[in-house]
Structure 1
């Protein structure tokens, strides 16, 4: 595709320059300074074009730098040789003859020859014409040019690179679509917000298909692409460097940051100092461990690496690896980096070091690096020992088929009991979740169990089987076994991690909130000791769910952000954390933020096999439906239903709530309530009391007060703010008690649950209106409208009823809305499970109330009201 770049507005800076050009006292013009590529020339020409119809432009160049007044040769002609003073006087006279309404633009003034620089200074001193001058920072600048702003002759405007947010806006505008956060972060890090670098980076990545659109979201994958134009631009800065300075850059290009001690050991200390003075490197203090050094701009490293031959690169990596290994790093991250460095060097490490580093990378969630290290060990003939971390990294990246291709062919007949266990666990987990083959997973577990005798080994199999049972919604059976397995003295860290994660999730969905924290603490501690990859995010799901049900959305958001930060923008971890954060945004009513998180997660998790893929799709669907975007919600529902399976049975009630919201968005209240109640029945069957409550509460928000008794029973059994609110809400609706609904709306707003609060206020308005209490109705309606606006224009059935001035009953409006959507009378009757005659009666009464002649006019009236 052709990337359509637009100019990023720098309105504040533009206003400053224009104000300086208009000034008749003080500075008459402006000097724009900034790094190469930040947009100085673009802004300068934009300002000059907006200020005056006439302009004369010149630019400093390397080729004209040795020619006196060479930069102005095409602007003012000097016929005969004269002394410098006479030349300058003549040049000013020629320039003044061009007229009073002209602006002089000088680009790259740092490259001006001495006479041209003096001429520009004199133009400013004598106020011959307004000036706009650009200067690149980090370069030697003639004193006459520096004096333009130091002496106050021209206004100084410094252009900084774009911020992360500005970078996001520019890239999304160019690509005409949302870009996932981790990809924007990578683009921003590599470009450092430099507009010119940014444009070439994105264009090159799109051209190389590294940056592509998946499920409507742009994702950057693979190595950074430095296209020919960008490479030439950067190479022009470093191609003429002294070989000693370039060697400093080469060392840092293949490993940064480096300690100053290592760098000065492998290169000349004077060259390191010269590189810093030239702005090629940055020296920083790293905690209390001494000084570290990085390349000044990430793209310098990319270009240096691209220009280094294979053998030279292997030699440089070898020099670095040997020097760093002389004092082995204590930090696990540094040890992993050392192994990765040595892997591609002229003295590769032992396979055991690579395998150990791959396992460490898996624990830290560095899945891509872990895969590379494990593959390196496999290539060295490490066999079974390397296959295990390789399969784990592949599975946790959602590449289940590749993981099975690694584990499936392994001959297990000669494996000892411990090795057999190490093979069985990841393979069964991969078959169950990533490949949706639970029967095959069970068969692998069964055959393995028959060969095990050690208590710790059998305990580990029990732990994984209990986790499978949780996801198959067999929680009542699984939870006692989780306690027994995780608490056994022989339990290994991996067993404790699995039981901690499955226990936290099951206890949360079952409404046993006090049990979630111990499970979470056990699971997180064990995860730090075992190769669990992204398993800890399952613990986060239980924690965020529990905080939310208790009405503590502050704690829920804090926890969700901790998991987002843990991922450090690595996928798929960032998307798993995004699902947690998106759910908090949703409950707060921040639908735009929720949609962004869910949409990015859904795109990343597409086709991975993660159960989170279903959750991201379902939650995205719900968000779209709450926003009143019925068509988009219907499309999202199709995807969610496709992703649901036997290994996500735990989330069946979430699926039914998703279907309910889509029906509500389509104004089919009866079907919406039916799906909510179906979800409650499914949850109750598995003793998921919290999920049952959510489903019943959703039915209440859709106008069904008949579930009040059951909600009160649940509230008596489970302590939680949302449980109590649901019971009060249902009873107040059943009793038509508008005052209690008003009070409840206020309480829900106070804890930040704005979406539910808006529904309570809207239903209060409806109840007050039916009772003839006009003042209370208007007050509640105003509160509902205010809350809906805070929720970015939420459009729930309760809010729609309040905002609808049509004099129709709830059922009449429901039927009329289906008519407006083009459904026939029979189709409406089938959906509502009533007779066609009943539907015709509703249509007749609606036409009478609205004074419209027929079905077509009724549909038009409803559509007009919805616009």
Structure 2
């Protein structure tokens, strides 16, 4: 696969340089400074190329550095020996002999020999010609070149690396598709925005297959790959270092940051200082714990590690591990890093330290590191104690089959109650969620329950069974057990974390919003004490749902972003947080941003077994449908339906909502309403009152005028601003009250729910039209279109105001399906009417629009939708 890399324009910098070339006062030209690979030469050539006259180009090189005037040998003809002053004068005369209107470019001026540097300086001092000179930051530069900007002879233009947004935009342009955010962040961190490094990092990952497209999203997985071009580029910077300086780089390549105190004991303090002065390392203050040192560029470490042998690497890690162990770190992250460092050293730690560090890593959501530490302990023969964190890490990474292979063969006959539970919980959870085998999970728990006697042990099993009940759409029945566990004085943190998560989710969907904060607070506190880093996202689902239903959309978005930030780009946590954020953005009408979040999450969660995989696919489908991309939505619906199962039954109403949105995008309003009502029935059957209201509200927005009585009941029973708005909306629609719908649109928009506001405004326009109030109709139509434009949305209500065709609602529905390419038989099947009835609607539509046939009718509908 070949990818073309475009030349990235630095328009602002180019304009600055070109303007200096045209200046007749002040600096006549520019010096471009920056790190290797930031594009100095490209910009210099573009500026020189924009000059109308003759162009001359010279470049400093290591090989020509020893030759006087070597960089200009191809441009000036000095054949006889003479003193330096005469040489410079002759060179100057020869350079401008052919033309007085020239521009001179000098690349890599830091590599110029002394005489060449003096020659460039004289050209600038005597204003012989405008100059564009490039200099690499961090290199020793001849005094004559430094004087170019110090003496204001040329304008200095510092060329910075790309910003993150610029780097990601470039890579996405090259790949032709979106980058997963965590992968984009990793690529940017590795390249630090250096354009040349960026290109080589991406090309190396593509060649190695670690950067690949999954479900339309590019993901970077596995180790960084340094291709030969990039390796050579970086090695040219560090290969000729003194052994002492290189040793500093080697230490930091295997462990960074290091405290200055530790590094200064492994290498002389003056050497560390020299490394900083040379731009090889950076020294920063870390809170109040003193100074830390890290490499100046992440890729230095990659190249050094690649060039270091296995034994040497083990020795370096051992040096550092022993030194750090003499000053035991207080921060949990530092303790984890110490264990990881020692694991692959010539002084491996005790298995107990690895197990403890693995548990800490899982608590912080560091799943891959947790797996590595646990595997290290397993290799030391730790057995059962190491198998538990290993299985947790595998399951939470979506590798359920591997987790079962670790837990399944364990002989539990000699385990005590709590060890038995510590085996049962992750295995049952893995069977239920990751492998979709709930009956086996129930069997494992039943066999274990018979051996339990201690109340705390029973609490643990009760908590997990309650969570299973919630996901099996029995949340009301599960809440009593959840309260017993979370209120139990003997319940362990793990049990309380499970109870908090299941309680927050259950009470949110049940519409018992006042109970959610307590479950969330207690569950999060317990999760921080146990190996349940990802459970907090389930708690977040209940919290964000509650705030959204309460009309607190700003707070909901802030909370969702908190969960995104908490994940710190680690997967799958980043994707779980993305589902929360995307859902809020969808309600707010930020459909494009919501689609991005859901698409990235769906790609990451594909094949993991998480219930969140279904949610991401379903919500992505809804976003696509709301954006009017019917074909894409239909394709995503197939995936959502495939991911739905017994372990996601609590989300059945979300599945029906998804089907409703797809039907709406296909102009089948009748079927859309039917699916929304089916979702309401499913939710009501499980006593999910809040979710029932959500489904009925969507049916209302799709044109169902029969939902008002039930929504009014739900508004009385569930304390929710959103449900109260839905009930008022339904009553106004049933009454055909355009003014009331206008008022509702305004209130809902003020709350931030722009998509719902757009539907209310569109239905207000239709109500005003029915009442013959043309002035009000036009005002509501304009409002609906404004809101629709803000969202980029297409819904059944908006389709009416967007298509000023003189057709009835059913005629418009049939005509829209004709425009989608459906046959009369397919339309009849969808609408559950006869083909003859469809033909009648098409005939009347053609007559009203004065078109000849189906094809012309389809064209008229398409034109009217623009």
TM above 0.5, yes or no, is yes
Q: What's the counterpart of residue 725 of structure 1?
A: 725
Q: What's the counterpart of residue 853 of structure 1?
A: 852
Distance 2:46 2:799 in 1: 48
Distance 1:863 1:174 in 2: 33
Distance 1:840 1:202 in 2: 56
Q: Deviations over 1:102-130 (max 9, x none)?
A: 22110001111111111111111222222
Q: What's the counterpart of residue 677 of structure 2?
A: 677
Q: Does 1:368 align with 2:368?
A: yes
Q: Deviations over 1:175-197 (max 9, x none)?
A: 11110111111111111111111
Q: Does 1:198 align with 2:198?
A: yes
SS state at 2:66 partner? coil
Q: Does 1:630 align with 2:657?
A: no
Q: Does 1:745 align with 2:760?
A: no
Q: What's the counterpart of residue 519 of structure 2?
A: 519
Q: What's the counterpart of residue 383 of structure 1?
A: 383
Q: What's the counterpart of residue 831 of structure 1?
A: 830
Distance 2:783 2:864 in 1: 21
Distance 1:614 1:776 in 2: 43
Q: Is the 8 A contact 1:339 1:354 kept in 2?
A: yes
Distance 1:656 1:809 in 2: 27
Q: What's the counterpart of residue 403 of structure 1?
A: 403
Q: What's the counterpart of residue 803 of structure 2?
A: 804
Q: Does 1:563 align with 2:577?
A: no
Q: What's the counterpart of residue 336 of structure 2?
A: 336
Q: Does 1:59 align with 2:50?
A: no
SS state at 2:103 partner? strand
Q: Does 1:539 align with 2:539?
A: yes
The alpha-carbon deviation at position 53 of structure 1 amounts to 6.0
Distance 1:425 1:450 in 2: 15
SS state at 1:840 partner? helix
RMSD over aligned Cα atoms:
1.1
Q: Is the 8 A contact 2:754 2:787 kept in 1?
A: yes
Q: What's the counterpart of residue 686 of structure 1?
A: 686
The alpha-carbon deviation at position 499 of structure 1 amounts to 0.8
Q: How does 1:272-283 map to 2 (within 5 A)?
A: 272-283=272-283
Q: What's the counterpart of residue 17 of structure 2?
A: 17
Distance 1:648 1:680 in 2: 16
Distance 1:786 1:48 in 2: 48
Q: Does 1:415 align with 2:415?
A: yes
Distance 1:573 1:265 in 2: 38
The alpha-carbon deviation at position 628 of structure 1 amounts to 0.3
Distance 1:297 1:704 in 2: 60
Q: What's the counterpart of residue 794 of structure 2?
A: 795
Q: Deviations over 1:228-282 (max 9, x none)?
A: 1111111111111111111111111111111111111111122111111111111
Distance 2:156 2:78 in 1: 31
Q: Is the 8 A contact 1:711 1:726 kept in 2?
A: yes
Distance 1:403 1:206 in 2: 30
Q: What's the counterpart of residue 865 of structure 2?
A: 866
Distance 1:196 1:856 in 2: 53
Q: What's the counterpart of residue 585 of structure 2?
A: 585
Q: Deviations over 1:798-831 (max 9, x none)?
A: 1111010110111110011122223233322222
Distance 2:566 2:107 in 1: 46
Distance 2:208 2:224 in 1: 10
Q: What's the counterpart of residue 435 of structure 1?
A: 435
The alpha-carbon deviation at position 51 of structure 1 amounts to 2.4
Q: What's the counterpart of residue 270 of structure 1?
A: 270
SS state at 2:805 partner? coil
Distance 2:835 2:481 in 1: 53
SS state at 2:106 partner? strand
Q: Deviations over 1:391-412 (max 9, x none)?
A: 0000001100000000011111
SS state at 1:179 partner? coil
Q: Is the 8 A contact 1:572 1:604 kept in 2?
A: yes
Q: How does 1:769-788 map to 2 (within 5 A)?
A: 769-788=769-788
**How many residue pairs are counted as aligned between the two chains?**
866
Q: What's the counterpart of residue 840 of structure 1?
A: 839
SS state at 2:63 partner? coil
Q: Is the 8 A contact 1:317 1:344 kept in 2?
A: yes
The alpha-carbon deviation at position 495 of structure 1 amounts to 0.9
The alpha-carbon deviation at position 158 of structure 1 amounts to 0.7
Q: Is the 8 A contact 1:398 1:610 kept in 2?
A: yes
Q: How does 1:132-531 map to 2 (within 5 A)?
A: 132-531=132-531
Distance 1:857 1:287 in 2: 71
The alpha-carbon deviation at position 30 of structure 1 amounts to 1.2
Q: Is the 8 A contact 2:663 2:669 kept in 1?
A: yes
The alpha-carbon deviation at position 862 of structure 1 amounts to 1.7
Distance 2:666 2:642 in 1: 21
Q: What's the counterpart of residue 651 of structure 1?
A: 651
Unmatched 5+ stretches in structure 1: none
Q: What's the counterpart of residue 815 of structure 1?
A: 814
Q: Which moved further from structure 2: 120-129 or 831-840?
A: 831-840
Distance 1:766 1:130 in 2: 68
Compute the TM-score of the two structures, normalised by the length of structure 2.
0.99
Q: Which moved further from structure 2: 597-606 or 262-271?
A: 262-271
Compute the TM-score of the two structures, normalised by the length of structure 1.
0.99
Distance 1:669 1:787 in 2: 21
Unmatched 5+ stretches in structure 2: none
Q: Deviations over 1:511-543 (max 9, x none)?
A: 111010000001100001111131110000011
Q: Is the 8 A contact 2:476 2:506 kept in 1?
A: no
SS state at 2:213 partner? strand
The alpha-carbon deviation at position 762 of structure 1 amounts to 1.1
Q: Is the 8 A contact 1:33 1:134 kept in 2?
A: yes
Distance 2:563 2:821 in 1: 45
Q: Which moved further from structure 2: 41-50 or 511-520?
A: 41-50
SS state at 1:555 partner? helix
Q: What's the counterpart of residue 757 of structure 2?
A: 757
Q: 1:181 to 1:53 in 2, by over 3 A?
A: farther
Distance 1:39 1:687 in 2: 62
SS state at 1:51 partner? coil
Distance 2:285 2:320 in 1: 20
SS state at 2:135 partner? strand
SS state at 2:129 partner? coil
Distance 2:229 2:732 in 1: 68
Q: What's the counterpart of residue 110 of structure 1?
A: 110
Q: Deviations over 1:355-374 (max 9, x none)?
A: 01001111111100000000
Q: Is the 8 A contact 1:253 1:305 kept in 2?
A: yes
Distance 1:205 1:192 in 2: 16
Q: Deviations over 1:481-514 (max 9, x none)?
A: 2112221222111111011001101111111110
Q: What's the counterpart of residue 709 of structure 1?
A: 709
Q: Is the 8 A contact 2:96 2:102 kept in 1?
A: no
Q: Is the 8 A contact 2:802 2:864 kept in 1?
A: no
Distance 2:68 2:824 in 1: 89
Q: Is the 8 A contact 1:396 1:533 kept in 2?
A: no
After the TM superposition, list the runs of 4 or more consecutive aligned residues in structure 1 that deviate by more than 3 angstroms: none
SS state at 1:522 partner? helix
Q: Which moved further from structure 2: 475-484 or 382-391?
A: 475-484
Q: Deviations over 1:539-575 (max 9, x none)?
A: 0001111111111111101110111111010000000
Q: Is the 8 A contact 1:432 1:441 kept in 2?
A: yes
SS state at 2:177 partner? coil
